[in-house]
Amino acid sequence: MKNEITFRNAHYIKLGRGGSWEEDSISHSLLRIGWQHQTLEDINAGKWTEIEQQLRNEHADKPQVATTDLNRLRDIAQSNSDDIWITFHGAKLWWARLASSGVEQDKISKFRRIQGAWSDKSLKRQLLITAELPGKLAQLQGFRGTICRVSEKELLQRVLIGDRSPIALEISAHRKHLADAAKRAIEQLHWKDYETLVDLVFRDTGWVRVSILGQQVKGYDLELREPITQDKYLVQVKSSASLKDLMTAVTQFFPDGIPSDYKKMFFLTHKPAEDLINATDIPDCVDLIPPQRLADLVIDSGLSRWLEEKVV
C-alpha cells in the first residue's frame, strides 16, 4: 500500500444516539444513519424538494434544523469513494470510504455500506488512539449534532497517512540533539552525581522511594514502590558494569529467575561494557537503562538544567 491518501471532503459522523450504533456499524462495515421518516426511494432518487418539505413539516418550529438535516442527508446520499468518513469508538478514531451502493435499510436503521472495512490505523499501521490525536481532530467527539464537515483536512490527511508536520519533525530533531548531548554529559558525571540523577528521575516520574539512596543495606541502591499497584522494585546503579555484573545482581535478588518480593529490577550504568551494550538475552525480570535511555528520561523529566550545571 502506498503511503498516500487523497480525498475531496471529510465528514465526521456520530453513529447513533449516544454511540448506540458504533459497534454494529464498525463490525459490519456500515455507516448507519437516522432519517426514519424519509423513504429509500426518495433518498436514492434525489427527491430533495420533497424531502425538504417533509423535514420542514417535522421541524415546523425549527427551520434551521430542517435545512441542516437536509444538507447532511444529501452529503450521505451523494458521497462516494472520493470522500472520507470518520468516527470515534473504543477510544480510537476510525475512518472509511463509502461503497458505490446507495442507501439501504434493515430492521435497525437506514445505512450505507463501507468500501472494505472501517480502519483504526494509519496507512503506516499506527493505531489512531484518540488521546494521541491533535486536539483539532479529537474535539470532534464533542460535536452536538450527528454529522459535520471536517475543516482540518490537511491535518486529517497527515494523521491518516501517519506523517508528522514540519514543526513536529523540527521539535523531534532538536530533542534528539539535546538527548545526545545529555548522554555525553551523563557519561562525564561523577558517580555520586550519577546516583543522584537516577534518584531524581525516578522521583519525578512518580515512583515512591522506600529506601535511602546509597544505603545498600541489602546490596541495592534504591527500593521503589509503584504508587498504584504498590508493587516493589529494585534499582541497581553502577558506575561501570558488564553483563557478568548484571547477571550477578539477578542471581542475588532473583535466584530462580522469577520475581518474588520485587516485581523487577532496574539496572543502570553510565559506563556499560561492550558485552552489556550488545546483550540480547537479558532476563525479563531486569529492565536495563543505558545512558541514552536515561538521557531521554532526563529530558522528559525537565532535568536538563540540573545536568547542565553538573558538567559546567
For the chain, the domain total comes to 2
Domain boundary among 105, 126, 161: 161
Q: b or e along 131-157 (b: 16 or more beta carbons within 10 Å of the residue's beta carbon)?
A: eebeeebeebeeeeebbbebeeeebbb
Write the pLDDT tens digit of every residue in 51-94.
999 999 998 888 899 999 999 999 999 999 999 999 999 999 99
Whether 2 maps to a domain, the answer reads no
C-alpha cell recorded at residue 291? 545512558
Whether 189 maps to a domain, the answer reads yes
CATH number where 269 lies: 3.40.1350.10
Residues 214 and 154 in one domain: no
Residues 202 and 136 in one domain: no
Residues 183 and 106 in one domain: no
What integer is the mean pLDDT of 227-246?
88
Residues 197 and 252 in one domain: yes
pTM of the model as a whole? 0.72
What integer is the mean pLDDT of 236-252?
89
Residues 149 and 197 in one domain: no
Residues 185 and 299 in one domain: yes
**Residue 244 neighbours by CB under 8 Å, 6+ apart:** 275
Lowest mean pLDDT among 106-120, 124-138, 260-274, 289-303: 260-274
Residues 251 and 206 in one domain: yes
C-alpha cell recorded at residue 165? 508536520
Residues 97 and 145 in one domain: yes
C-alpha cell recorded at residue 129? 488512539
Whether 1 maps to a domain, the answer reads no
Residues 134 and 217 in one domain: no
Characterise 11 by phi-psi region: left (phi > 0), alpha (psi -120 to 50), beta (else): beta
Domain boundary among 134, 161, 188: 161
What is the reported pLDDT for 63? Answer: 87
**Residues of the domain holding 130:** 10-161
Contact 265, 231 (CB under 8 A): no
Packing angle of the helix pair 291-300, 191-204 (nearest 10 deg):
50
Residues 55 and 193 in one domain: no
Domain boundary among 102, 128, 161: 161
The distance of Cα 48 from the centroid of its chain, to the nearest Å, equals 41
Residues 21 and 51 in one domain: yes
What integer is the mean pLDDT of 17-46?
94
Residues 262 and 215 in one domain: yes
